[in-house]
Amino acid sequence: MKITLAKIGRRFNREWIFKNIDYTFEKGKSYAILGINGSGKSTLLQVISGSLSQSTGEINYILDDKNIETDAVFNYLALSAPYLELIEEFTLTEVLSFHFEFKKRLNSINNQELIALLNMESSKNKQIKYFSSGMKQRVKLALAFCSDTPILLLDEPTSNLDEEGIAWYHSLVSKFTNNRLVIVCSNQAHEYSFCQEQIRISDFK
């Protein structure tokens, strides 16, 4: 899997968030998009994911030398981000089952194994609206990491996680990122320390 950005730019009204980004992301590598809060990291990630259109430039998604249309790229990626919402009325088990109606399970992992991975056996029948912010973040991360997609996008992955949760996040990175294209948006070193490449939004203002 390869994603190429050619002169990509995005603006809101007359203000450029970023412009003239030329970059290639490749499967099997990990990338960190870095910048202060409000710098445009999440906006760039949304453009890369196809959920937000660029103002200028071109994006190409290539798999096995074939181009993938932008409106179909969601089939090839998994995303965890603070602005993504879980269905509050669902129980944990229902959220897992619902998510994997749309995504293939990595290594055929089943709900019971996912619940064990989350260490939430006692909460499997609890509605998400009763989960703490940290528990919700763990669920979002587990759903993304355990989806069988060549692209994994992580925006501020340790938001609302304590030290134990951060260590758990690192264990997911070691277990579930092999041979995937991983992009992390962050301004905290512990979230992207494993990344091989870094992109600074400030370079494209």
Rounded-to-integer distance, Cα 14 and Cα 79, Å: 29
For 2-204, CATH number? 3.40.50.300
Instruction: Tell me what pLDDT residue 73 has.
Output: 95
Residues in the chain: 205
pLDDT confidence bin for 86, thresholds 50/70/90:
very high
Instruction: Tell me what pLDDT residue 90 has.
Output: 98
- Tens of pLDDT, residues 8-33: 999 999 899 999 999 999 999 999 99
- Tens of pLDDT, residues 119-135: 999 999 999 999 999 99
- Tens of pLDDT, residues 92-101: 999 999 999 9
* 3-class SS of residue 154: strand
Rounded-to-integer distance, Cα 86 and Cα 91, Å: 10
pLDDT confidence bin for 171, thresholds 50/70/90:
very high
Structural domain spans, the chain: 2-204
What residues contact 152, with CB distance under 8 A and at least 6 apart?
77, 78, 144, 145, 176, 177, 180, 181, 182, 183
